[in-house]
Amino acid sequence: MAAGLIWRFVFDGDYGVMARFTEALNTDSWYILADKNWAFVAILVVLVWKYFGFHMMIYIAALQGVPKDLIEASKLDGASRFQAIWYVKIPLIMSGISISIFFSILGALQTFDLIMPLTGGGPSHSTHTLVSYLYSFGITRMNVGFGSAVGVVLFICCVIFAFTYQSTIMKDKK
């Protein structure tokens, strides 16, 4: 929530960083979070900023597990730098890539903490996720039955994705 509030100030067209940016360019104020076409892009920027470090740590840990001997052997066999990356490093870090994709997709299904402070699901409900939709239409409007149904759908989506991903993508990574 704190990151969402900070970025809401950054994107604020009246008092935030965006206001100073448009002021410096002598253009009209731009309200990114109120623009239906740009609000989702702004949320994606914040999500990438927030989780970039986490996923980089996964990739760095995977890359540290790649034996240097294999890289040297591929160079001695005449592989270019690109071929060494494509045919040696990427297959060896595939477990890290697959776990990063898993966390990204499950996290995207459950995103709430940035949506509510940034846009509240607007403009025109264009930035709702299942969780923010559940909150806005189930809890806030006291339509508990509908909110429970959305929660069950979210749960089923997460479980189906997790088991499908586990049985297809991660079956060889054990």
pTM of the model: 0.82
Cα–Cα distance measured from residue 144 to residue 137, given in angstroms and rounded to the nearest whole number = 9
Rg value, the chain, Cα: 21
Distances in whole angstroms, Cα of residue 102 to Cα of each of 55, 158, 166: 11, 11, 9
What's the one-letter identity of residue 159? V
For 2-168, give the CATH class.
mainly alpha
Q: Supply angle C-alpha 115, 121, 123, rounded to 5.
A: 125
Place of tokens 């949320």: 43
pLDDT at residue 174 tops 60: no
Cα–Cα distance measured from residue 32 to residue 23, given in angstroms and rounded to the nearest whole number = 15
Q: What mean pLDDT comes out for the span 148-167?
A: 93
> H helices then E strands: how many in the chain?
10, 0
Neighbouring residues of 72: CB distance < 8 A, sequence distance ≥ 6: none
Confidence band (pLDDT; 50, 70, 90) for 131? very high
Q: What mean pLDDT comes out for the span 85-105?
A: 94
| Interval 2-19: pLDDT, tens | 999 999 999 998 888 898
Confidence band (pLDDT; 50, 70, 90) for 29? confident
pLDDT given for residue 116 in this prediction: 93
Nearest to 97 by CA among 65, 74, 69, 71: 65
What's the one-letter identity of residue 33? L
| Interval 38-81: pLDDT, tens | 999 999 999 999 999 999 999 999 999 999 999 999 999 999 99
Supply the DSSP symbol for 149.
Answer: H
